[in-house]
């Protein structure tokens, strides 16, 4: 009987030891899983911080590029105005001195392929309305074609001509007419953009 009682105690002690060993193994496995989850969470947080820093840097770079292009924020989006230095009066051929601004614009668009732009042509009110409409169309096409030939994907661009409509200054003065002879490149969200030509 004593041997049986001793055996029962021994069996109980062994079972208790096995239970403690199993509980310890479970606790170790849980702790290991917790450490792995923590490591994954820390890695994800680090990746998020790096993405945020990269995004902040990209936004800063984009803002610097837009400043270099003398872009201004409007209700239509960011607008880069290419003044009449691009073209001779009544002409739609791009002048060499205007190509520097165009090159900056093309480089910006190639570096930012997510940006979509509408190229808009405008004129002053000298001449007939029909002539000015056609001239603004040819000038906008010249700018659009130049950008595409410079490597900007046509899918990033659309075009519209306004002629003498939508002046930004009075057409009664030489300086006002000069301000109205322009091509504007409007950067807006993709959803707001008209389709490419």
- Are 4 and 88 members of one domain? no
- Are 166 and 134 members of one domain? yes
Is 197 part of a structural domain of the chain?
no
- Are 64 and 74 members of one domain? no
- Give helix 99-111 / helix 129-149 axis angle, nearest 10°: 60
- Are 60 and 74 members of one domain? no
- Are 58 and 122 members of one domain? no
- Are 110 and 178 members of one domain? yes
Number of domains in the chain: 2
Is 29 part of a structural domain of the chain?
yes
Please tell me the distance from the alpha carbon of residue 79 to that of residue 133, in angstroms, as a whole number.
21
- Are 89 and 185 members of one domain? yes
Specify the pLDDT at position 59. 64
Last-in-domain residue among 68, 88, 121:
68
Please identify which residue in the block is written with the tokens 């668009």.
109
Is 98 part of a structural domain of the chain?
yes
Range of the domain at 31: 1-68
Last-in-domain residue among 68, 88, 105:
68
- Are 58 and 93 members of one domain? no
Specify the pLDDT at position 99. 83
- Write the CATH number for 184: 3.30.1330.60
Specify the pLDDT at position 106. 92
What are the φ and ψ backbone dihedral angles of 71, each rounded to 5 degrees? Answer: -75, 150
Residue 143 makes CB contacts below 8 A (sequence gap 6+) with: 82, 86, 94, 102, 119, 121, 183, 185
Note the pLDDT tens digit of each residue in 35-86.
999 999 999 999 988 888 887 776 677 677 777 777 888 888 889 998 867 8
Is 49 part of a structural domain of the chain?
yes
Is 82 part of a structural domain of the chain?
yes
- 50-88 as b/e: b if 16+ CB within 10 A: eeeeeeeeeeeebeebbeebebeeeeebbbbbbbbebbe
This prediction has a pTM of 0.66
Question: In which band, very low, low, confident or very high, does the pLDDT at 87 lie, cut at 50, 70 and 90?
Answer: confident
Look at strands 77-82 and 72-74 and give their pairing: antiparallel
Is 152 part of a structural domain of the chain?
yes
Q: Does residue 126 sit in helix, strand or coil?
A: coil
């Amino acid at each position: 009987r004593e041997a049986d009682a001793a055996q029962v105690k021994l069996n109980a002690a062994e079972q208790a030891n096995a239970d403690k060993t199993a509980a310890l193994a479970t606790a170790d496995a849980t702790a290991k899983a917790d450490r792995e989850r923590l490591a994954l969470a820390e890695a994800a947080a680090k990746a998020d911080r790096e993405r945020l820093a990269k995004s902040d840097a990209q936004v800063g770079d984009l803002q610097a590029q837009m400043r270099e292009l003398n872009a201004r924020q409007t209700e239509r989006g960011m607008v880069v105005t290419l003044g009449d230095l691009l073209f001779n009066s009544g002409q739609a051929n791009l002048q060499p001195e205007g190509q520097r601004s165009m090159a900056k614009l093309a480089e910006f668009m190639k570096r930012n392929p997510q940006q979509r732009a509408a190229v808009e042509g405008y004129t002053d009110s000298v001449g007939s309305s029909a002539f000015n409409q056609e001239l603004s169309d040819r000038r906008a096409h010249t700018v659009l074609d130049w950008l595409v030939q410079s490597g900007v994907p046509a899918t990033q661009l659309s075009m519209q001509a306004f002629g003498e409509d939508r002046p930004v200054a009075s057409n009664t003065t030489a300086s006002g007419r000069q301000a109205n002879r322009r091509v504007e490149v409007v950067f807006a969200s993709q959803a707001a953009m008209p389709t490419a030509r």
